[in-house]
Amino acid sequence: MIKSIIRKDEYRAIYRFLDRVSPLDHDCGAMCGAACCGTGDDRQWEEKMGIYLLPGEDKIHDRRDDWLSWSEESTEDYVFPPSWKGKVFFVKCKDAPRCPREKRPIQCRTFPLAPHFLDEGHLVLIWSTGSVPYECPLIKEGVKLERDFVRATYTVWKHLVRDPLILDLVEWDSIEREKEGSEVILVYDPLRPDLNEYIKGED
Ligand code: SF4
Ligand code: SF4
């Protein structure tokens, strides 16, 4: 399994920190039937849908927990940065959208935002891009997000990219977006305090 410099207690602290925030001040899953937890009606996506844990994130999960099914995937079989050599954990929720909220993986907690490098070392948050079988209404309608959620998500990604492998992943994803011509919509940039279109209470 690929190694991480992020310690178990750091992952625990990150989970606790993100437990306190949500994209909206109410459950956004009510808007869409928790679309990002499922595959919609598209059965072709059933096998592919799931969550890759970040390097080392498995340390704070118990593989005997019955709400997740686990598999180990070779990084060579999927699109990962070249530095990711070995296996990564891929988890699927058995009873989505029901899950122990305090155990949701990081990818669930920071969606619909994604970390992105505009330039070397210049980390921003954007609306998540990528091919998925559902449409997130927050992204589609450009709904304003809770400021605490945005700031906490940024703090967490800023911390996570101290890990060389996670840094490589975020840099890789950023370059891939550019190559694919994906639309990159900025939500938060610490160097742009004027950027407030998608954050509550910043107009
Ligand atoms: S993040 Fe988007 S897709 Fe996921 S539950 Fe909230 S509104 Fe729905
Ligand atoms: S862990 Fe929870 S929030 Fe994340 S995909 Fe599974 S059911 Fe949805």
- 68-74: strand order across its sheet: 51-52, 87-93, 68-74
Q: Report whether residue 123 contacts ligand 1, using a CB cutoff of 6 Å.
A: no
Mean pLDDT of the chain: 92
Q: Give the pLDDT confidence of 147-178 residue by residue, as tens digits.
A: 999 999 999 999 999 999 999 999 999 999 99
Q: Give the pLDDT confidence of 19-75 residue by residue, as tens digits.
A: 999 999 999 999 999 999 975 555 566 666 789 999 999 999 999 999 999 999 999
Per DSSP, 24 falls in state: S
Closest C-alpha residue for ligand 2 atom 2: 99
Closest C-alpha residue for ligand 2 atom 6: 93
Q: CA 69, CA 92: separation in Å to the nearest integer?
A: 5
Q: Which of 113, 108, 106, 128 is nearest to 58 (CA)?
A: 106
- pLDDT tier, 140 (very low <50, low <70, confident <90, very high otherwise): very high
Q: In this structure, what token pair is assigned to residue 29?
A: 């899953």
Does the pLDDT value for residue 5 go beyond 70?
yes
Amino acid residing at 105: P
Report the nearest atom of ligand 2 relative to the CA of 96. Answer: 7
Closest C-alpha residue for ligand 1 atom 6: 28
Q: Report whether residue 2 contacts ligand 1, using a CB cutoff of 6 Å.
A: no
Q: CA 119, CA 104: separation in Å to the nearest integer?
A: 30
Q: What angle do CA 83, 84, 87 make, to 5 degrees?
A: 155
